[in-house]
Every structure is written in C-alpha cells, then in structure tokens.
Structure 1
Amino acid sequence: MNGRDAARRAIIIDTPPTSNGDLHVGHLAGPFMAADVYARYLRSNGRPVVFSSGTDDSQTYVLASARRKGLTPEELSGRSWHEIRSTLAGMGVSLDGFAPYDDRYRASVLTFLTGLHRAGKFRERTVMLPYSERRGEYLVEGLVCGYCPICLVESRGGLCETCGHQNNFDELIEPRSTVDPDDVVTHREARILVLPMEEYRERLTAYYREREPRLRPHTMQLVREVLARPLPDFPITYPIGWGIPAPFPETPGQRINAWAEGMPAVMYTTAYAAEQLGERHAADDELWRAEHDPEIVYFIGFDNVYFWGFTHIAALMAHEGRYALPDTFISNEFYELENAKFSTSLGHVLYTKDLLKEVPRDLVRFYLAISCPEHQQTNFSREALVKVAGDRLVRPWNRLAGLLGKAVADSGADGASLPVSDAGRRRAEAVIARFRACYELSGYSLTRAANLIVGQLDRMVREARLVHEDAGADRARLGDLFLDVRVLVACASPILIDLARAAGEAGGFTCGLDAGGFRPGRIAPFALPLLETPAGAADAR
C-alpha cells in the first residue's frame, strides 16, 4: 500500500440486493463476504472507510416475486429489507450503514438523473418491448424471460446472467412472462429515454485499459466482448407501473428503469453510512465528488458486471468530471447448493439465518471464504462445511490451544512474559506480508487467505508439539510461538471475527495491522479461546 492510498478514504459498496426475499448462502458467499473482509482489512490498517449498502426495491423482480407470493410489492420489499439487514448483521457484515429505501433515496436518484436530462445527455428512442396481452402491460427485466441472443441460454430481460451480455428491448428469443408462462407475449412500440452508450466508447475503453491488471479474467473477457460490438442504448425510462415515476416531459407516466438508479443509489447509501459515523454533508453525492479523490471499490456478482461496469460508469462519465470513477470492482461467479443451482421457486435454498442457528458464525465465514466462487463456479455442501471447518480450522486451533497451555505450565512461564527472538520477528513480518498479498486489491483472494490460515495453523501445531515434547526448550521458542499466534489472529481477523475478538480479550491486544506491534522484545502468554466443534464433526479437542 503506497503513501497516497494509505491516506485515501475508501468507499466500499456492497451492491444493493433486490428486496424480493431474504439472503441465502449463495448471496453471502459472493460479494457480501468479500466486501466485508476488505472493509475490515482496511480498518485494521487505519484506513478511513465508508462501507454501505441498502436494497434495490425498484427492480421488477420485486414485482414479479410479489405477484407469485400474493403480496403487494410494497409489502414484500418492506419485509425483505428487515430480513436482509438482520441476516447481514447476523453474519457480522460490518456495514457502516444499511440505508432505507425512502423519499430521500428517491430524491437522490432524481437529482442525479435530472441533472443529466438538463444537460441533454439522454435521447428519445422508439423501441419494441415485450407486451402481455392478458395483463395489458409491458414486460421488462424480471417480468420476462426467453433465450439470450448471445449465448442462447435462458435469460431474464435486460441481462443474461450466464454470459453477462445485455439483451435490450425485443432481443430475447421466444419471450415469456415469468409470472404467467401461459400468457401470450407480443411486442409493442414504446417511446422511451435512453443513455446513448456508444458516445462513451472511447472513455470506457481507456478506463478498462488502465484497470485491466486488477480485474478478474472472466470480467475482462466480458469487457473485451462488449467493446468489440456496438454498445446498445441504455434505457432510462420504461412504460411500466412499478418504480420511481420519471419526471421527464418526453415520457409522461413512465418509470425510471431500476438499473438507472444504481449510481445515485450507492451515493445515497454512502452518505447514509457516513452519517452513522457522525459525518454530515450538504448533498448525498458529496463523498463521491472527484475533488475528494476517494478509492471506490464495489463487489458484484459476474451477472451484474455489465450494468455496474458499463452503464453505471457511463452515467458517471456523463456528469463530465463531477464524480470520481471506481478504482476497481471485484466480481465473483455463481455458488451452488449441493451441486445444484440455488432456486427459491423450487425450494432448493439454504437461508443464511437458518445455517447460523446450527453452525458458529466464524465457521460459516471460514468455509465461505475457502470455497468462495472467485474465478469459477463452486459449491456449498453441509457435509463439506462440517469436514473442512472441523479438520482444517477447529481441530488444529484447539490442538494448538491445548499444547500451548501445557507448554506454558511445564515451563513455569504462567504469568511471566517470554522473550521473542529476531528470527521470530522476521517470521511475523513474512506472515503479515503474505496475508497482505491476499487482501490487497491487486491480488484479492479470500480463498488464498483462508488457505493461508490453514497453513499457518499446521506449522504452529507442529512447532507447539516440539516445544511441548522438549522439556528444556528455550523460552524464546515459546515466546516466538505466542507472537505467531498474535500475528495469525490479527491477519485472520477480517474472516474469523469472533475468534479474533475473544483471543484479543484473552491476550490483551488489538488486531490492527497498522501499528508496529509485531516486533516486541517480550510477549505475555495467554490462554487461547477454544472453537466450537461443528455438529457432525469428529472431536476437535
């Protein structure tokens, strides 16, 4: 981390989830865990951070889900907001603020978009949209499905979650209603406002040329594919009945496309979170303004890369230098449940809140980190969680705790500080450097960080066994081991949040990585807290 970055405020965005139900394990394994670990890492280095999210209530997925459940969209989104906030808190996701979808939210969206409208950034277009003959309404986004014109896999309207490409207007092949599959779907003409994406081609190309080294390969593949063809117009308004009413005279009675809310929505959530930290700003977009030079990072699933990586950035660019552009974004692939896709409609789902009732939070976080879908699709298995967390984390940690306790008792060092060697201090610095390589954006990887925890535990257990078996062991060897433990706890603290808290309390230390606290001359031994064995695992003591 260079000097400039160390002083910059980091704005971390967990892209707002759609409020059509609670979060399942697949949601947490992707952007939520990744964003939380990064935020915690930066805070441990003393970086100023604003980490925020909210809900995306305007999505037509809310409307479609509400119709299937027999609820009003307002009822479903309101209930889901509380469920999502509770689940994130239960998982220890350290948001500085989880913003409500309210009048202030809507005002922030309209301020951002009407500024572009006044500046003449939108264009009128006549397009053909899917239309429900039975309901007498246009079908867009979550209300319609069909086959993607790019990869020919089934897709929702607007974007294909398989290949990541946009499918605008009448491009879906064999469109069908997602609420009523027997409905007759035709196409009808509509006059809407769009953001002409092709006008931002050169700036988007330059943006990605600069940021390519930080982006994951699948994301860059999509970027190259998108830029290799004409950029489709981005719809700003739709002739539908759900969402924020569009105030533009050209489109009376229409609503704002939910995806067009993205950038002003996260500016609003940033402002809301900053207020929870005690800050007050005159405008909700203040912290995003270019003169403040924030480091902006957001965490997204691959299926959202097109909108967040193209249309939303073009909308920022359309404000002609007013706002900072995101430094980068961290994408993830899909996470399956027992080797099948998560499906709420088919009942193939595991809600995070239900898992947390049965498995300690740190064990869930560890398993989601080690199995997270960073570069390819991965899988959640309850059996694998029990085995991996038990064998690789709980058993070695508790074994280490037992061995260190016996070694301290045998050496008579209980209550006395222990010397630390130069070699021990050098090892500590090496371990910190390896964890930093996992947490810094240039090589960000939860999987590697979790595996590094495993590797360091294995090393320490072997060393603790040797110290325990050697009655005449040098006290500095034992002191080095306790320094190893402190370093591991600090480096693992963004993932193992409860263990870090308990160990810090037991040892009387904090888990920050910004101070020079890992070169001590002496160190006090302490009792390591034990981890709870996951149900179904072998005895981990």
Structure 2
Amino acid sequence: MSTTIVVAATPTSNGDLHIGHMAGPYLAGDVYARYLRATGASVIYTTCTDDSQSYVVTTARRSGTTPRELCAGSTEAIARSLSAMGISTTGLPPIDHVYRRAVLEFVTALYDAGRFRQRTVRLPVATRSGTYLFDGLVSGTCPVCLAGSSGGVCEACGHPNNYDELLDPHSTMDPDDPVAYRDTEILVLPMEEYRDRLTAYYTAQAGRWRPHAMQLIGELLAKPLPDVPVTIPAAWGIPAPFPETPGQMLYPWIEAMPAVMYSTWWSVGDTTLPLDEHWRAEHEADVVYFHGYDNVYHWGLMDLVFLLAHGDRYVTPSANVCNEFYDLAGEKFSTSRDHLIWTADLLAEVPRDLVRFHLAHTAPELSRTGFTREGLRDNGYRRLSTPWNGLSEAISETARGLSGAVPVTPDGRRRAAAMVQRFRGCYELPGYSMNRAAETVLTHLNRLRDLAARSAIAAGDLMLEARTLLAGAAPILIDAAGAAAAAGADLSLTAETPASVPVFRLPRLPEEAGHEAADHRDPSVPDLLPLPLSAGAGVRRRSVRDER
C-alpha cells in the first residue's frame, strides 16, 4: 500500500499562528489526514518551520530581538498552537544541521547536474545600510494588479515580482533609506526551460485544482516564466556553497522542497533511511499540498520546477488544495492594528471541537470568508451543541434497558451507507470541502434528532446512524470522536453496514456557559467541559507578525 504524504505550507517562524492561518492549510490538512486514516490509508502529515525567510529578519528588527531568538520562541509557540488545535502532525522537526544537509544535498545535486544559470540582475538596495532588498525586506506596488505588495510575490493577485519589478520600492525596515539599483551576479533556475513539462502536468491536473488558483496558474503560464533566484545577497539564511556567488545565501523559498522531504523523513522516525527516501518516485507516494492563495506561485510552479529539475527522481504532487483569505469581522487580519485572534487565546476560552467545527464550516475554500464571535457562538452552541446534546439524550433514553448488539433494519443500513457516501464525497479529492462536511454533520444531526424525538426510528437504526454521524464528523470533532473510540465505538468510514450494532452512546458536546442541562442527562455519557465565549477575550496585544 502506497503512502499519502500530506504537506501543510511551512509556517514562517516569526510569530505564533492566528486563526486565519489555522482556518487555512493546517486544519484542512489535518481533517484530510484524519479522514484518510479512518479509511485505513497510510498517511504522513507533516510540515516544518521556514526559518530562513526575510520576514524573520524584519520582525526581529521590530521586536528588538535577534532572528535566531525569534525563530526559537516562534517555533515553540507554533508547536503549542498546532498541538492545542489537535493538528495531527508528529511535531515540528528541528531546523538543525540535518535540515541544512538535506537542503544542501538537494540544491548541490542540481548544481552538479548543470541546472542553474548565472545571471546579472538588477536588485534594489537600501543605500545607507547597503542592504539588498527582496521579499519581506522591500515594499512597494505590484506591477500586475497595482496593489501594495512585498517583494517576491503579490499577496493580492499572486503574481511574482522578483528583482527590479516592484514599483516604488522602499525598505521595510527603514522607509527613509533611499533605494537604488545594483547589478548583481546570482544563480537562477530558469523556469521557462520546463514549460513543456509544466504544461503537460497541468493538463493532467485539469479539474483537480480550485478555480481561482487554477486561473492564476493559467495566467502565469500564458506569459514567459521567470527565472527563480537560487542565491541572493543576504545576511540571514543558509550560505550558498557555489563558487560563482561567494558570500551569498540560498534564496529562502527554494528550501521548501528539501524542507518537506526532511520533515517527512523526521516524522517517520527511521534515521537509517536517506533524507529524501519517502519522496523518491519508486515508492509512488501520493503527495497532497495544502496552502493559501498567496503561495500558488511557490507551491504550484516554483517548487514543482525544482522537483522536475531532478529528472524522474521524485514524485510530483497529485493535488494542491488552496484556500483563500480568512477575514476577521469583515477586515483582513492585521498585526499592526492588533486586529487578530491568536489560536492559543481562542482555544483557552472555547472548547476545541467547537472551534474546529466553526473554522471548518467557515473556512475560505472558494472565496474570502470571515470569523466573528457571534458566528462562532451561533455555529458552535446553537447549531451544533444544543441539537447534538439533544440527540445524545435521546440515544441514552433509547439505550435504557438495552445491552449487547441490537438489530438494524434494511432501511437503516441503506441510510447509514448513504451517509458514508455523502461524507466521503466531502473528504475525497478533488472535491474536498470541510465546509460541506460540516454542513453534512448538521443535516444528519437535525434529521436524527427529529426522528428520535418522534420515536420514528428503530433503536438499532438510531444507534448505527448516530455512530455513522460521529464517524463522518470525527475528522473535525476529534474530542467527541476520541471519547467514543475510547468507549469502544468503531468509527471507521467504510461502506460496510452491519446487520446489528452494539449499543452506542453519543458523547455530549460542551454547552454555552449558563445553559441549563436537562435533568435526565445520562451520567455514563462522556461530557466535554463547557467554557465561556466572552466578547472581548482572545485578542493579545503583545506580538507583531509580518503577514504574507
């Protein structure tokens, strides 16, 4: 059986993760990985921090610390947030000498194979400091959509703007430092040389990407493809080992492919294997990326070219699941205006299953969506917890006096099979959608609660269909699913439906503070602790984070 490698976009270690980040690739990748495991698939879900990014330098400068200290603290914070949200990666691997060896082996093999070219490019330079300006070190106007943009890639339209393409550039760290241009020798990977293979790849990918991301890929392929920087004059990162570019660093974005190969290797834990073993083509792993729209160019073209440049050595991704931006109360997340909610803060006040459900239900899959506290209260408590606990009580009432296994009618088996198919349709590629999975949970929750309230469903059918409901919700509602699994419930998502089913009790979900529980609550049913959802809590005014 081949393995599926699920990769969430590598987080920059210049701060913690806010809920805009979490509602994007991290939760989506986790739900997909958990679904695959429920079907019996072999899954490695992985990511690692992106320590070499220029955003580390700018944030460290603003925060009055060093890039190294910032990376260390941020990595700890990111790891805590991922763990608190129940993101099922093995952890965050250390960015150490083994990581650097993985990166250098990857790029040196391309250098030795003659894949890189030496180019003279015009780079903006802050004249007083002498700092070369690229990516997060420079701000200006996107030459394609005319929105404000950092260097490298425009967050608004997704188009790249390397070298001297950014309009009206200024130094991010010192906007008053005049900018000039300097001809500089660097190494590049010419993306245009891979056009035929890229075109063939995306022809085969037709219908497997979300429309907006695929539109951007089409726009990029419709014009000459840019050269990808391999080296850059910088003071932070991994030193480039090439004689043509003494004193330069590896361009941070080219670390992504060897980085996730390394994190895959580290997650498996077998250190006797080569660092790139699990990505080698002969193993036929199924690789699926989860990332945001602002990374379509990187994960969709640039990183793909770096894989293709190795010939047939590595697998290429079978799918990229791309999310749009998640707003907060109708506005873009902004650290400079303290307009954000950190993941750890929200989870400190709201139960995890309710947060995961709301983020899954409102995740920006096809267009920008947003988070509001009123929406979380409505979704988490009124639409989910209250009917869920009503169904739990109805199941407990039905279970009184029953023991062992109870028979299921043919109609009940057909309905359970139909539920499985609906959930699988939400979780399978290319139509993967947490939004639809969460809505499907609500649909069957209300249907079963209504049938149970009217005593219009046989006991065995209710047990089987409620168990199927929790199995379908399990990739999202991980604490409720964990409590049921600990009690012996089978939550695998298979098409098989039994003729009889063990008596099943549905774990209760947390209720809003002040809500009076029914007097006939079954004390044997696991009850996750309720927590308040206060209107003003959860916004920390202590940290800044560059956004990209």
Q: TM-score range by the shorter chain?
A: over 0.9
The letter for the 2-side match of 1:512 is S
- Per the alignment, residue 4 of structure 1 pairs with none
The C-alpha deviation readout for 1:245-275, integer Å capped at 9, x for no partner, is: 0000000000000001111111000000011
Cα contact 1:57–1:101 (8 A) shared by 2: yes
**Which whole-Å CA distance do the structure 1 matches of 2:505 and 2:417 have between them?**
23
The letter for the 1-side match of 2:470 is V
The C-alpha deviation readout for 1:17-58, integer Å capped at 9, x for no partner, is: 000000000000000011001110111111111111110000
- Per the alignment, residue 418 of structure 1 pairs with 406
**Which whole-Å CA distance do the structure 2 matches of 1:193 and 1:183 have between them?**
27
The letter for the 2-side match of 1:93 is I
The letter for the 2-side match of 1:438 is C
Q: How does 1:103-142 map to 2 (within 5 A)?
A: 103-142=97-136
- Per the alignment, residue 236 of structure 2 pairs with 242
- Per the alignment, residue 494 of structure 1 pairs with 475
* 2:491 counterpart of 1:503: no
The C-alpha deviation readout for 1:179-214, integer Å capped at 9, x for no partner, is: 222221221111100000110011101101101211
**Which whole-Å CA distance do the structure 1 matches of 2:452 and 2:114 have between them?**
69
1:117–1:49 CA distance, 2 compared to 1 (3 A): same
Cα contact 1:358–1:535 (8 A) shared by 2: no
* 2:426 counterpart of 1:438: yes
Cα contact 2:288–2:318 (8 A) shared by 1: yes
Q: Give the 3-state SS of the residue equivalent to 1:213 in structure 2.
A: coil
* 2:62 counterpart of 1:62: no
**Which whole-Å CA distance do the structure 2 matches of 1:534 and 1:387 have between them?**
10
Cα contact 2:186–2:245 (8 A) shared by 1: yes
Cα contact 2:471–2:481 (8 A) shared by 1: yes
**Which whole-Å CA distance do the structure 2 matches of 1:15 and 1:528 have between them?**
35
**Which whole-Å CA distance do the structure 1 matches of 2:368 and 2:128 have between them?**
38
1:540 Cα deviation from its structure 2 partner: 7.3
Q: How does 1:23-422 map to 2 (within 5 A)?
A: 23-275=17-269, 279-409=270-400, 413-422=401-410
* 2:492 counterpart of 1:512: yes
**Which whole-Å CA distance do the structure 1 matches of 2:486 and 2:106 have between them?**
46
1:79 Cα deviation from its structure 2 partner: 0.6
Which sections of structure 2, spanning at least 5 residues, go unmatched? 519-548
- Per the alignment, residue 527 of structure 2 pairs with none
- Per the alignment, residue 3 of structure 1 pairs with none
**Which whole-Å CA distance do the structure 2 matches of 1:17 and 1:381 have between them?**
24
**Which whole-Å CA distance do the structure 1 matches of 2:53 and 2:420 have between them?**
42
The C-alpha deviation readout for 1:313-370, integer Å capped at 9, x for no partner, is: 1111111111111111100000011111111122111000000010000000000000
Q: Give the 3-state SS of the residue equivalent to 1:179 in structure 2.
A: coil
The letter for the 2-side match of 1:399 is G
The C-alpha deviation readout for 1:118-146, integer Å capped at 9, x for no partner, is: 11100111111111112111011111010
Of 504, 527, 538 in structure 1, the residue corresponding to residue 505 of structure 2 is: 527
**Which whole-Å CA distance do the structure 2 matches of 1:417 and 1:285 have between them?**
48
Which sections of structure 1, spanning at least 5 residues, go unmatched? 1-6, 468-472
**Which whole-Å CA distance do the structure 2 matches of 1:84 and 1:459 have between them?**
39
**Which whole-Å CA distance do the structure 2 matches of 1:208 and 1:366 have between them?**
33
1:535 Cα deviation from its structure 2 partner: 4.5
Once superposed, which parts of structure 1, at least 4 consecutive aligned residues long, lie more than 6 Å away?
A: none
- Per the alignment, residue 455 of structure 1 pairs with 443
**Which whole-Å CA distance do the structure 2 matches of 1:455 and 1:317 have between them?**
44
1:539 Cα deviation from its structure 2 partner: 5.6
Q: Give the 3-state SS of the residue equivalent to 1:98 in structure 2.
A: coil
- Per the alignment, residue 19 of structure 1 pairs with 13
TM-score by length of 1: 0.94
**Which whole-Å CA distance do the structure 1 matches of 2:513 and 2:326 have between them?**
23
The two structures, once aligned, show a CA RMSD in angstroms of 1.4
The letter for the 1-side match of 2:293 is F
1:282 Cα deviation from its structure 2 partner: 2.7
